[in-house]
Chain A
Amino acid sequence: MSTITTLINSTPIPITRIFDDTQAFLIDPDKNERLKKSGAKIDKVALSVYTLIDKICPATIEEAFAVAAMKIKKNMSIASISGVDQPIAMTGTGAIEEALTNLIKIVIGVNFTEADQIKFAQMLETGRMPAQYIEAIIKNIDDLQPKVMRTAILLAYQVLRTGRMNWTDPRTQMVAQMNYNYVPRLFPDPLTGIKAWTSYATATGIIDLQEHDDAYYDENGFRAEMVVMRTQTMRDLCRQQSTRDAFIANGLASASTLGSAAVSFGGLQRLFAEMLLPMPVIMDAQVEIEPRPGVFQRLNLMNTGEYFFANENMGQRIFGKTMEGKGKAGIFVDTNPKDKRDIEDQAIAVGRMIPFFENPKLLAARVVN
């Protein structure tokens, strides 16, 4: 709590150890670097939860201040039957629909006041804190660009999970809203009561998924590549009696060897492959939000009890031009003194982006408990 008084009045003892308690691994993929330094193993599986969005909805750059898309719909209806001396039945050629989307401005800045700088200078002078440790606490502008990127990731996941974007920023109270014209039957009603995936005895998870996937197939003509959910949701699916029955019925285990055990994750993957269902993928990544200045909270990018279908490159996180970047596209990072006294520093990062899904028919998700 107290900083200056404590530091000044305490006898300097050089710090010999440092460990980073800032963030849970799930919110910070860069932690791998730090894990490596402290001799821990890199967790490739956990890292994949963060790279998944780069597969589904990669970040791209567009040299524009807004995204303009054009949807072309050809008339594919078949020809008609006619008789001799009868007129020819005519039809239209097709339609063109334009969609113009403004970009959402995502910003963050950190300020180093004179008081902050004195605190750090004193830490250095008392010999308690080597400079690199202070850099570890406040990594300066390196940290800002990921912050912008994570907001973009959060918005992209909202569209994937719900077919729309509706995010109220806790700091500014500004609302980012966008509604993709998704197909209603690809966002079926939530499963509740005896159908909820947590009702292990009565839920019919595999059949629910099959019906949903068939609707997706009917709309698109191909099946989704993967079905993404949290570990807990997948565990709920594995525990269901109906999943165990399907596992046995497909010859993946005999009733006597499976006993009363839940199906394993590996087993579930094999079962899905047998049943032509999308590949099950785990996504547990989190972000940290600041619901109130100085108060931080971890937020799951996906809730427990929901899943969505996804394909590689089905969408893009489009970053457009910013005025801060002198009209160049991308995430613009800058640090400069507040005024000519050069005491207060300010570092900012600005990006303008939109989670863009050209084909809203590829969006499909459901709440399952």
Chain B
Amino acid sequence: MAYRVNTYTPTPTVIFNSRATLRLLSYNADILALSLAGVAGQKLVKAGTIYCTDGKQLKRAKLLTDGASGDLGIYVNNPWAFAIGDVLKVVAPIGSNPAAELAAITGATGAAVGTIASIETSIETQTSRIILATAVVGNIITVDFLGIIGSYTVKTTVVADELIGLAKAVQAAISRSESISYVSVTPYPTYIEIKSGSDKTMLEFTASIAQGAGASVAVLTTSTIQGLGKLILAAPLAAAIPAGTKVGTLDQIPQAIWDNEWDFGNYPHSVPLEHAITPCYGGQFYLNALPYMDAQVAKMLPQAAFIPAYA
């Protein structure tokens, strides 16, 4: 007998206060399911993704884990937006302020990433690694799963021992949250492995290392062994791109923000009218609820306020 689980998950709240919400009144503001990449059986419009004037999602996303030079693919946090043939660039270098970012987008000055040759659609679980090269006593390692933070201070110079401690700290943080409780964290001699326990769930996390009381800062990298919607490039990456870098096409014009998450997995063509979804061009939005954000979005949505402000 099959044990089937259907879930109702409340949509992550993107809107800070719905009183001020202004919705796009165009009845053409419908997304074509055809334009969405089918990844892991889903055609997902994430809550907080940006709707553009060309009727598609903004084809920009953040790199999930480090892309090493020579990698033939990258993992991003919103593969559903992309299509074969999209030419990807770095939107702006990490740490750019909004003004520099806007200039980089409009001037398309970012480094080339590559052209999408294909998109991996069938893999439904994710396995990622956090790799620690050396252990420096006093360094502080922080792993952040969208706000669920595990932090660990390095105590010895033995990498394997420290990874056990780090894995424990991360697992302890995860176990305090229902949101990501189905994630396993396993220490290995040179890395810790993070696996999603439930299918079709993307694990978004950042890993960082700070000097703390240490004499120097050790090198911490991340990689994804397998994940949802790998964007396979026509040519290998020419240079390494750090996790969190914003990559994408730069010729779209942002118009509005979807406040609900929708999955059009079973619709082959355009979306039936009763499921038309209307994005908001104004209102108050939680900045950190948006899967992607850049200075062009802030500029093109003058009636939207982001909390905290995008700076």
Q: A344 on the interface (CB 8 Å rule)?
A: yes
Point out the residues of chain B lying under 8 angstroms from A7, CB to CB. Answer: 6
**Chain A positions 297-337 with a Cβ under 8 Å from a chain B Cβ:** 297-299
C-alpha gap A299/B149 in the complex (Å): 12
CB-based nearest A residue for B173? A297
B214-222, B262-270, B293-301: which lies at the interface: B262-270
Central interface residue in A3, A137, A299, A338, by most chain B CB within 10 Å:
A3
The distance from the CB of B4 to the nearest CB of chain A, in whole angstroms, is: 8
Task: Establish whether residues A294 and B12, one from each chain, have CB atoms under 8 Å apart when the complex forms.
Answer: yes
Interface residues on A, range: 35 or more
The distance from the CB of B29 to the nearest CB of chain A, in whole angstroms, is: 15
Point out the residues of chain B lying under 8 angstroms from A137, CB to CB. Answer: 8
CB-based nearest B residue for A298? B176
Q: B11 on the interface (CB 8 Å rule)?
A: yes
Q: B184 on the interface (CB 8 Å rule)?
A: no
Task: Establish whether residues A115 and B146, one from each chain, have CB atoms under 8 Å apart when the complex forms.
Answer: no
Task: Establish whether residues A173 and B308, one from each chain, have CB atoms under 8 Å apart when the complex forms.
Answer: yes
Contact with B along A28-55 (1 / 0, CB 8 A): 0000000000000000000000000000
C-alpha gap A316/B179 in the complex (Å): 34
Asked if A172 meets B307 with Cβ closer than 8 Å, knowing A1-B42, A298-B177, A344-B18, the reply is yes
Asked if A295 meets B177 with Cβ closer than 8 Å, knowing A7-B6, A116-B11, the reply is yes
Task: Establish whether residues A119 and B8, one from each chain, have CB atoms under 8 Å apart when the complex forms.
Answer: yes
Q: B292 on the interface (CB 8 Å rule)?
A: no
Q: A273 on the interface (CB 8 Å rule)?
A: no
Asked if A297 meets B9 with Cβ closer than 8 Å, knowing A9-B266, A173-B308, the reply is no
Cβ-defined partner of B9 (8 Å) among A1, A171, A293: A1
Q: A6 on the interface (CB 8 Å rule)?
A: yes
Asked if A292 meets B18 with Cβ closer than 8 Å, knowing A9-B266, A137-B8, the reply is no
Task: Establish whether residues B9 and A113, one from each chain, have CB atoms under 8 Å apart when the complex forms.
Answer: no
Task: Establish whether residues B11 and A295, one from each chain, have CB atoms under 8 Å apart when the complex forms.
Answer: no
Q: B260 on the interface (CB 8 Å rule)?
A: yes
Interface residues on B, range: 35 or more
Contact with B along A112-146 (1 / 0, CB 8 A): 01011001000100001000000001100000000
Point out the residues of chain B lying under 8 angstroms from A338, CB to CB. Answer: 18-19
Q: A2 on the interface (CB 8 Å rule)?
A: yes
Task: Establish whether residues B6 and A6, one from each chain, have CB atoms under 8 Å apart when the complex forms.
Answer: yes
CB-based nearest B residue for A286? B176
Contact with A along B22-58 (1 / 0, CB 8 A): 0000000000000000000010100100000000000
Task: Establish whether residues A2 and B42, one from each chain, have CB atoms under 8 Å apart when the complex forms.
Answer: yes
**Chain A positions 4-29 with a Cβ under 8 Å from a chain B Cβ:** 4-7, 9-10, 21-22
Task: Establish whether residues B18 and A115, one from each chain, have CB atoms under 8 Å apart when the complex forms.
Answer: no
Q: B13 on the interface (CB 8 Å rule)?
A: yes
Central interface residue in B11, B259, B267, by most chain A CB within 10 Å:
B11
Contact with A along B271-286 (1 / 0, CB 8 A): 0000101000000001
C-alpha gap A299/B148 in the complex (Å): 11
C-alpha gap A290/B286 in the complex (Å): 12
Task: Establish whether residues B289 and A293, one from each chain, have CB atoms under 8 Å apart when the complex forms.
Answer: yes
Q: B107 on the interface (CB 8 Å rule)?
A: no
The distance from the CB of B174 to the nearest CB of chain A, in whole angstroms, is: 9
Cβ-defined partner of A5 (8 Å) among B4, B260, B264, B288: B264
CB-based nearest B residue for A21? B178
C-alpha gap A9/B10 in the complex (Å): 19
Task: Establish whether residues B289 and A297, one from each chain, have CB atoms under 8 Å apart when the complex forms.
Answer: no
**Chain A positions 312-369 with a Cβ under 8 Å from a chain B Cβ:** 338, 344, 346
Task: Establish whether residues A293 and B13, one from each chain, have CB atoms under 8 Å apart when the complex forms.
Answer: yes
Point out the residues of chain A lying under 8 angstroms from B201, CB to CB. Answer: 1
C-alpha gap A173/B15 in the complex (Å): 15
C-alpha gap A172/B288 in the complex (Å): 11
Asked if A346 meets B148 with Cβ closer than 8 Å, knowing A3-B8, A293-B286, A297-B177, the reply is no
Q: A109 on the interface (CB 8 Å rule)?
A: yes
Task: Establish whether residues B15 and A111, one from each chain, have CB atoms under 8 Å apart when the complex forms.
Answer: yes
Q: B68 on the interface (CB 8 Å rule)?
A: no
Q: A190 on the interface (CB 8 Å rule)?
A: no
8 A–B contact pairs at CB < 8 A? A2-B263, A4-B262, A7-B6, A119-B8, A290-B147, A293-B13, A293-B14, A293-B288
Q: Which residues of B contact A (CB under 8 A)?
A: 4, 6-19, 42, 44, 47, 145-149, 173, 176-180, 200-201, 259-267, 275, 277, 286, 288-289, 307-308
Contacts A5-B266, A5-B267, A128-B6 known; list 4 others, CB within 8 Å: A1-B201, A3-B9, A9-B266, A21-B178
